[in-house]
Amino acid sequence: DHRDLHSFPTRRSSDLTACVALMAVGCGTPKEEPPTFHADVRPLLDQHCVRCHQEDGLGVGDWTDDQIVDAFADLIADRVETGAMPPAVSEPECRDYVGSDVLYVPQESRDIVSQWIAAGRPMGDPADNPGVVVGDVDLVDPDVTLMMPVAYTPTFTDPENPGNEYRCFLADPGSEEIFVTGMDPVIGTDSLVHHVVLNTLDRSDISDEMLADDGWNCIDDMDGDNMLAGWAPGALPVEFPDDYTMTMGGSKVLIIQMHYFQANPEDSGKSDLSGYSFTTSETPGRPLYLVPLGDFSFNIPAGDASYTSGGRIRHSDLGVPVGLEIHSIFPHMHRLGTGYNVSIEHADGTETCLVNGRYDFDNQLTYQFADRPMFEDGDRVNFTCEWDNSADNENQVGEPKDTQYGERTDEEMCFFFTLVSPGAP
């Protein structure tokens, strides 16, 4: 305390010497106890890890079981310390988004896991667990669920697209318009599904081929007129803010596009039955539209470990007479993707960061913004994607080769599916 400095000269030298000695060991401050499993580590696992690491989850191991966590403790610590786990997400410092407190792990939380391991993994008292509430990984209480007509078994017999199959199926929401407030896919066989896309299609455009229960081959053309939703592995439910909706049904049906990818020979002969679930409102809200922004012109050289390409979209390019409120962005690449960045360059020269982060094919998220920026006349959106096309990339499919845009998993994409609403909030 600076107010006590004047008294130091009047104190006995022995007292001062004793105090200096105490300062070397903390000067009387309580000894900091090492973190324990129940008080410190279990809450972090519940908050950041068990959405994937649980029974029937996407990740290996069930981190809700304390004994399994203890057995895997060294591996968990290594993956957390190196940043390999939890999977990469957009940096909240760029723009905060719904669920960032669960999806993003700050360094201080990573340090707690390391300190726990270094202290010998003390368990502590179960009563010390603060009881972190784990977020939902599925849409709560959906009103409508639309599925493929029947289970389908991919054949992967197309010689021009080895290991890939695009199959489309019709789903009819009904003749009455439905006002959607949230959506989430129902995935049948996780190991087969590369992505799911929903497109709308006017009823007058339904062909005889589309009426078959086992769908049709749609790798070259999905058909349809507007994209309603997209999902890839790792994505969480998308729920709209109050008073905003998307519309389906009425004069339009849905096309469910399934991209199947045979990652393992053991998947041969497996079937899939997938679809989408929705929460709805009885009345329409402010309309939302999904706008795909993308780069089709890149060529990633074989062996290049850090290749970047991208593009820009001016507000005037969209032909929209009003500003657009940006609700969310879903970055999408394939297995070579390593990073992405999207920002708005405003007419006044300022810049607004939208998403920026490392890319993980198995953890593709729709980033729903808590504070929604505007994209207005005179602005432009700049976006880039980065890929690792070297043999060292553990996601490399076969030997590195020059890689361009394409639908197959061993080709690449650079897309940002952007949910917007016309006009200011």
CA distance linking residue 111 with residue 77, whole number of Å:
9
State the average pLDDT over residues 311-333.
94
One-letter amino acid for residue 320 of the chain = V
Q: Residue 254 pLDDT more than 80? A: yes
Q: DSSP 3-state assignment of 235? A: coil
pLDDT confidence tier of residue 243, bands split at 50, 70 and 90: very high
pLDDT confidence tier of residue 56, bands split at 50, 70 and 90: low
Q: pLDDT higher for 343 or 234?
A: 343
Q: pLDDT higher for 57 or 128?
A: 128
Query: What pLDDT score does 135 carry?
Result: 58
State the average pLDDT over residues 175-187.
95
> What is the pLDDT of the chain when averaged over all its residues?
86
Q: Residue 81 pLDDT more than 80? A: no
CA distance linking residue 15 with residue 384, whole number of Å:
64
Query: What pLDDT score does 123 carry?
Result: 87
> Which of 97-101, 247-251, 262-266 has the least mean pLDDT?
262-266
Q: In b/e form, how buried is each residue of 101-139, taking b as 16+ CB within 10 angstroms?
A: ebbbbeeebbebbeebbeeebeebeeeebeeeeebeeeb
Query: 90: which residues sit within 8 A by CB, 6+ positions away?
Result: 97, 331, 355, 356, 357, 365, 367
pLDDT confidence tier of residue 138, bands split at 50, 70 and 90: confident
Q: Residue written as tokens 């300190």?
A: 115
- DSSP assignments along 331-388, one per residue: EE--TTEEEEEEEEE-TTS-EEEEEEEE--TT----EEBSS--EE-TT-EEEEEEEE-
Query: CB–CB of 245/180 below 8 Å?
Result: yes
> Which of 57-61, 132-136, 195-199, 257-261 has the least mean pLDDT?
132-136
pLDDT in tens, 269-293: 999 999 999 999 999 999 999 999 9
* Token representation of residue 361: 């094919």
Q: Residue 15 pLDDT more than 60? A: no
Q: pLDDT higher for 9 or 217?
A: 217
Q: Residue 241 pLDDT more than 80? A: yes
> Which of 44-48, 241-245, 349-353 has the least mean pLDDT?
44-48
Of all residues in the chain, the percent with pLDDT exceeding 90 is 55
Torsion angle in degrees (nearest 10) through CA of 36, 42, 45, 46: -160
Query: What pLDDT score does 392 carry?
Result: 94
Name which of 389, 410, 286 is nearest 338 in CA terms. Answer: 389
Query: 381: which residues sit within 8 A by CB, 6+ positions away?
Result: 293, 312, 313, 342, 343, 344, 345, 354, 375
Query: What pLDDT score does 20 carry?
Result: 32
CA distance linking residue 90 with residue 355, whole number of Å:
6
State the average pLDDT over residues 64-84.
80
Q: Residue 8 pLDDT more than 70? A: no
pLDDT confidence tier of residue 133, bands split at 50, 70 and 90: low
pLDDT in tens, 378-413: 999 999 999 999 999 988 878 999 999 998 888 999
Query: What pLDDT score does 136 carry?
Result: 61
Query: What pLDDT score does 205 carry?
Result: 95
State the average pLDDT over residues 46-55.
78
Query: CB–CB of 173/206 below 8 Å?
Result: no
Query: What pLDDT score does 9 carry?
Result: 33
pLDDT confidence tier of residue 24, bands split at 50, 70 and 90: very low
